[in-house]
A and B are shown apart, each in its own frame.
Chain A
């Protein structure tokens, strides 16, 4: 892809070389010479880029000084912003969506009918990394209880949890003694989401990590845009209590990016801090050059800044399937299941 891109928009360095009647570095057979030549071309390129940026900045500054609107900055193209158009994106003003939200399995939680209560268990015979991970989960999620799996069937545990008014159930699966899967079962009616669990970093391993308080955390759900994403987001939301205690300054984030859901847990604080700010440009008052030069470019100012401290754990989830109803691998019906023929484009996302 990179090569083709370069072909489309030829670099200034190559053009200059061609104009000068010189060989392109890639056509030189001696490796030593080739790399030397290429270093030159590269230096040329970097220089050219710097100049371009400088020219842009000056143009911008001039425009600001003249009171004009600066030329719009170009937005780099990323996979996210060139994502395939998706008709399933949930519109907040959609009446049908609101109706569905009012009657689905999570409507009771959002109507504050019951306090979320979480049961965490593991696959049979879990190992110590899984136990450590669950220990951290218990600190993050309020009102969570760990139950040993024993040799029970999941369906039996689901029944048990239903009888004890649990609203959600987590099952942490492991492979080669490392946790690698997370099953989230909303109770009593489902749905059941199966996630791939990866990149686990326990708080001990996070540099400068903080210790969370036992306040109810705030919940951030980022980028759950499609109809499926909306549903998964509601599933996450149903795990945490509806009323966060803002005194605790604790935030739990589920950030969706390219269908990977990143879990983060932070503490934050607002502090007053002296910051430097660009001096306001006064036009017309002292327009002579001298006085403008003499004026300081930046001004010190007291401002409120937010500081973050990560508490941990960190992990990444990827949705594998969403099954309607509680866990039933044999007779269950899937609402969404990942299939290979969905992966025909890198710019297609489902959440």
Chain B
């Protein structure tokens, strides 16, 4: 007699993801077999996390205590630690009421960037800093930050490093998010009362800043409230998508104008997370009332929503670099894996805490098969991962991607080709922008809102 309506979830391809929660645990989620269910294989650390970033060099975490830690994504060994600078000497108004010293954005640079391995941090008050980090020699670990031993004394570099480059990106308001483009030369910042601005990281100068959209049909101007940022594609630093607290999604093109190229509403609660789709057109958008949808940024059309009883705010969305899966997590304590194109729920996992961010760990994919990434083989994996990341330049990664996409998921290769085409066009003639403008105008007319 007990009848259930629950449909068995189809399961997802093998992947490895790292999930941070509000208590500071980092949970490693893995799918061992094809069409398997994700499982928590390890749990690291316990120190409240503000935000996280994943890069080739490791997995960076900004703790609420004002430190940035770089962990080895394979085994959770702490590779480096730096303290985030929270003040600038020349600044006049030191303490502000509307913003705190908390870290709101984090980026981990690649090894071959201008600064070498470095982290970019930004506090709510708008103090941005680039700090170089040095990893210790491979054989001596700085201590595994597993649970229980939270107070592992890391003696080195517990201060602001001397060569930290610190500058201010906002004098008023509170910064909410930052993003760095694929070439790692430009960064965009935005927040509550802080319009989006693009900075040249080399010169630390603002090269572009957004203008508030025109007054709406009621003659009102919404104050700037940027809650989520994402570059549309890895190769193009000019186009990016902005989610606002006023439940708007905007597309900016720094090459064209300072006002948004395209602007539309989604739902009635603030946008909390945006992730770029791999093809340079689509974005995945999560909102504060637990809605997750896919948008085509050429037209501003809602391609479709993601189902799966998402009941809490979606704090983080991320697309897997090679597989067609989207992971999302948030305040409803679930990690959900959807198919990126069919938007079908593949699997969901209860992770007990309110989740802050999720990232896919692809370091294991490059060196060793993903199934053997468990904590037992930490050292060997770490040793293997290192040379791979050293030699693993962008090209290798790309070829890897292509191979994968051709072999395993033929359908996924199509959008990536499209992307190349579009990029070529935009490189040759800037017509594409005007086209987009037209289309955006159409949308604006049809929606009857916007500037």
Contact = CB atoms under 8 A, between A and B. Distances in A.
Contacts of A130: none
Nearest to B272: A333
A345 B289 contact: no
Closest 9 CB pairs of A and B: A333-B313, A82-B2, A345-B5, A333-B288, A335-B331, A87-B350, A336-B311, A335-B312, A96-B352
Contacts of A247: none
A339 B287 CA distance: 14
B223 to A, nearest CB: 12
B352 A324 contact: no
A332 B2 contact: no
A341 B5 CA distance: 12
Contacts of A99: 23, 46
Given A82-B1, A324-B313, A339-B309, A334 B288 contact: yes
Nearest to B334: A88
A87 B333 CA distance: 11
Interface residues of A, number: 30
Contacts of B344: none
B172 interface: no
B352 A97 contact: yes
B270 A333 contact: yes
B283 to A, nearest CB: 20
Interface in A4-19: 5
Interface string B301-341: 00000010101110000000000000000011100000000
B171 to A, nearest CB: 23
B281 interface: no
For this complex, into which size category does the number of interface residues on chain B fall? 20 to 34
Contacts of B212: none
Interface in A66-106: 77, 82, 84, 87-88, 94, 96-97, 99-100, 103
Contact of B245 (A331, A336, A337): A331
Contacts of A84: 4-6
20 contacts: A82-B2, A84-B4, A84-B5, A94-B352, A96-B353, A99-B46, A100-B23, A227-B352, A331-B245, A331-B269, A331-B270, A334-B269, A334-B289, A334-B311, A335-B354, A336-B311, A337-B290, A337-B311, A341-B307, A347-B5
A331 B313 CA distance: 11
Interface in A316-351: 324, 331-339, 341-342, 344-345, 347-348, 350
B220 to A, nearest CB: 14
A142 to B, nearest CB: 31
A324 B289 CA distance: 11
A339 to B, nearest CB: 7
Q: Which of A87, A337, A347 has the most CB of B within 10 A?
A: A337
A350 B245 CA distance: 28
B25 interface: yes
Contact of A342 (B311, B313, B352): B311
Q: Which of B5, B23, B352 has the most CB of A within 10 A?
A: B352
Q: Which of B23, B288, B350 has the most CB of A within 10 A?
A: B288
Nearest to B192: A331
Contacts of A331: 225, 245, 269-270, 288
Contacts of B6: 84, 345
Interface in B206-261: 225, 245
Contacts of B272: 333
A333 B331 contact: yes
Nearest to B311: A336
B23 A332 contact: no
Nearest to B270: A331
Nearest to A77: B1
B289 A96 contact: no
A75 to B, nearest CB: 12
Contacts of B352: 94, 96-97, 100, 227
Contacts of A94: 352
A227 B311 CA distance: 13
A35 B266 CA distance: 60
B288 to A, nearest CB: 4
Contact of A227 (B25, B289, B290, B333): B333
Q: Which of A88, A331, A347 has the most CB of B within 10 A?
A: A331
A304 B106 CA distance: 66
A332 B312 contact: no
B290 A334 contact: yes
A100 B312 contact: no
Given A100-B353, A342-B311, 14 more contacts: A84-B6, A87-B350, A96-B23, A100-B23, A227-B350, A333-B269, A333-B313, A334-B288, A334-B312, A335-B332, A336-B331, A342-B309, A345-B5, A345-B6
